[in-house]
Homo-oligomer: A and B are copies of this chain.
Amino acid sequence: MAKFLDLASAVEEMVHDGDVLAMEGFTHLIPFAAGHEIIRQKRRDLTLIRMTPDLIYDQMIGMGCASKLIFSWGGNPGVGSTHRIRDAVENQWPRPLAIEEHSHAAMANAYEAGAANLPFAMLRGYIGVDLPKVNPQIRKITCPYTGEELATVPAIRPDVGIVHALRADREGNVLLEGITGCQKEVVLASKRTIVTVEEVVDDLRASSPNSVILPSWTVGAVVVVPGGSHPSYAHGYYKRDNSFYIAWDKVSRERDTFLAWMEENVMSKGPDAFAVHANGGAA
């Protein structure tokens, strides 16, 4: 059964130096509050997995939490570069960052295989492209019936998976709705999990018998952090703060403006700072 913890305790208990950590949320429901807590607790040498590293990993990598990044698209969506990730890759600042790069299709399949307890995923992919030349994890398998060759990637089975969700009930069952990305897969594929939620309610208010629900016993810790996904968003709670994404380009371009922003908005704050965003109106 899921435990209800505060964010600091959940990160302390679940996330350790050197862990392989996946924090998912495809544009929607990115667990920013949890990322900030990991930065505050100064975790080091993490292997970070995310299809789209987005600002959350730009921040964590810029603050030195990671030694490796596994990803498939590394920009600031619709805006430009994730400057802190580029600085780490191109200039090893604040520390060297190894990268393992995939396509979206491969990573989505790798999460799916992880959730399904398979050792690898196969796909019709990586045909005629250069990535397999630089990523030895991309291999091939032959269909035992047709002789066709398919690409393979290892299943993703993180030490820790962290996602943000809409709400939990008092037993710790968790509801997702809208763009659900790979979040169910990450939770099911990970050894330990943290789910931050907008609220805890008596009744999940699942709109459909087929609603996307993670039963309590699949979740390690449930943490209530209203607004905890900002500047990403929570369907029905608040909208994506696109202006923040645009503004981040300038904040993150230089090391000193980045560090100043992090000091003011992350290091000297706590999860409560996200609550103001929860009142930004329904998405």
Contact = CB atoms under 8 A, between A and B. Distances in A.
Contacts of A123: 118
Contacts of A118: 122-124, 150
A277 interface: no
A157 to B, nearest CB: 11
A145 B124 contact: no
Interface in A109-129: 117-120, 122-124
Contact of A235 (B117, B143, B209): B209
Nearest to A122: B118
- Per DSSP, chain A at the interface is loop
A146 interface: yes
Interface string A138-150: 0111011110101
Contacts of A124: 117-118
Contact of A144 (B120, B143, B145, B208): B120
A211 B209 contact: no
Total copies of this chain within the assembly = 2
A177 B207 CA distance: 11
A204 B118 CA distance: 37
Contact of A148 (B119, B122, B140): B119
A268 to B, nearest CB: 37
A267 interface: no
- Chain B CB within 10 Å — which of A118, A137, A209 has the most? A209
Interface in A197-254: 207-212, 235
A177 B117 CA distance: 27
Contacts of A143: 119-120
B145 A119 contact: yes
A161 interface: no
A270 interface: no
Contact of A154 (B120, B139, B145): B145
Interface of A: 117-120, 122-124, 137, 139-141, 143-146, 148, 150, 152, 154, 177-178, 180, 207-212, 235
12 contacts: A118-B123, A118-B150, A119-B145, A119-B146, A119-B148, A120-B144, A137-B145, A139-B144, A141-B141, A178-B209, A208-B210, A209-B235
